[in-house]
Amino acid sequence: MIILSIETSCDETALSILDARGTLLRPRFTLLGNALYSQAKLHAEYGGVFPTLAKREHIRNLPILLDKVLAETNLSPAKIDAIAVTYGPGLEPALWTGITFAERLGKEWNVPVVPVNHMEGHVVSPLLNKTKNLSFHYPILALLISGGHTELVVSKKPLSYSVIGKTRDDALGECYDKAARMMGLPYPGGPEIYKLAQKARDRGYHGVQWKLPRPMIYTKDFDFSFSGLKTAVLYAIRDHGTLTAQDKENLAKEFEDAVTDVIVAKTRKAIMQYKPRTLVVGGGVIANTFIRTAFANLSKEFTDLAFSIPERELATDNAVMIAMAGYLNILKKPSILKSKKKIKASGNISL
Ligand code: KG4
Ligand code: ZN
C-alpha cells in the first residue's frame, strides 16, 4: 500500500508518504517522501506550545507540505491507497486541523482515512531504519518518554497494550522543558539541557556541586513522578543565586543523571518482572544521546533481549511513524478502510 500520513498533534506539522508491505509481525516499509515543519521557534517566545498559534500554523502549512511531499515522490494522488491521520492524544485544536485536512483530501481523492493513536506511532517508530527494516519479537516492553507522556507499556502482540505504569504528574519531556526554562534556556529544553550536560561530562565533572532527588526510584510500582524534581531544580537555583555558565552545565548534568537513573531503574525492574523479548524506547526524549546509551547498556544486562529505538529524526514527532501505525491498523482490521464514521479528535486517549 502507498500511505499518506498527517501529524498535527502538537507543534510539528508533518506529512509523509510510505510504501508499506508485509505482515503485522514482519512489516516492510520504504519511505518515499517526508515533509516536516517544526514550529518550535515560534513557540519559544511563550516558553511552551501555544495552542492557538499551533492551530493557525498547521492550517497555513498543511497544503504547502502536501505539495512538497507529492512533488518529492513524484506521485499523483491516484496512487495513494489510504490516508493515516493522528486523532489523539494531543492538543485538540491542533489535532482537528490534521483531521479536517485529511477528511477533505479523502473525499476529493476518494481514498479512505484511518485514525491513528500518536502514542502507537511512537511505539512502532523503530520499525523503519534507513539501512534495514526491523521487526519486534513479542512480547515487547515499551518505555514512552515524550513531552506529553511517560509510560511503561507491555505489548504481547502487535497493537495490543497494557500500561503497567505512568507518570503521576509531569511527563519527562515536560520536566526537561520546565527545568530548562528555570535555567534560562529556550524551548524545547531537552536538547539544550543535553548540550550543557555534555560540556560538564567532557570536563570530567562528577556531580558534587548539586544533588537532585531520584523520585520514586525505589517504589514497588512502575509509576513515575517528575514534578518534585522540577521543584528541586527551582530551589537549587534559588538557593544558589546567579548561575555561572559552569554552574548551569553542572546542574544540567545532575538533572540528566537523575532522570536517567529513574527511568533506567524502573525499566530494569519491569524487564525482570515481565521478561520481554524486545525493549522499545520511543518519544522525543529518546533523541537524547546520553539516554540512548544508558538504555543500550541496560539491554546488554539481559541475554536474549533485543533493543529497539528509533533513529533520532523519528524519535521526535513526525508523520512517518503515523503511516507505519496506520498500515499495521489496516492489517489488523481491514474493515477500517470501509468505515464511514467521522473521525473525532481525542486529546486524552491512551494506548
Ligand atoms: O515526542 P515529542 O516530539 O512530542 C510529544 O509527543 O510530546 O517529544 C517532545 C519532547 C520535548 O519535551 C523535548 O524537550 C524532548 O522531547 N526532547 C528531548 C530531546 N529532544 C527532544 N529531551 C531530551 N533530550 C533531547 N535531545
Ligand atoms: Zn510525540
DSSP letters spanning 211-266: ----TTTT-SSS-B--HHHHHHHHHHHHHH-SPPHHHHHHHHHHHHHHHHHHHHHH
| CA–centroid distance, residue 25 to ligand 2 (Å) | 23
- Residues 307-337 have pLDDT tens digits of 999 999 999 999 999 999 999 999 999 999 9
CB atoms within 10 A of CB 105: 20
pLDDT at residue 132, as a whole number: 72
Beta strands, E only, the chain: 2-7, 12-22, 27-38, 82-88, 113-117, 140-145, 150-157, 160-166, 278-282, 306-308
Nearest CA to ligand 1 atom 12: 173
Work out the percent of the chain whose per-residue pLDDT is above 90.
95
- Residues 137-175 have pLDDT tens digits of 999 999 999 999 999 999 999 999 999 999 999 999 999
Nearest CA to ligand 1 atom 16: 284
Give the mean model confidence (pLDDT) for residues 39-54: 90
- Residues 132-142 have pLDDT tens digits of 778 999 999 99
Q: How far is CA 137 from the centre of its chain?
A: 21
| Three cell numbers written together for 280 | 522499545
Residues with CB under 6 A from ligand 1: 10, 146-148, 173-174, 176-177, 188-191, 194, 283-285, 287-288, 316-317
Query: Which ligand 1 atom lies nearest to the CA of residue 9?
Result: 6
Say yes or no to pLDDT of 112 above 90. Answer: yes
- Residues 209-266 have pLDDT tens digits of 899 999 999 999 999 999 999 999 999 999 999 999 999 999 999 999 999 999 999 9
User: To test ligand 1's pocket by mutation, which of 285, 286, 290, 311 has the most ligand atoms within 8 angstroms of CB?
Assistant: 285
pLDDT at residue 207, as a whole number: 81
Say yes or no to pLDDT of 46 above 90. Answer: no
Say yes or no to pLDDT of 131 above 70. Answer: no
DSSP string, 72-95: HHT--GGG--EEEEEEESS-HHHH
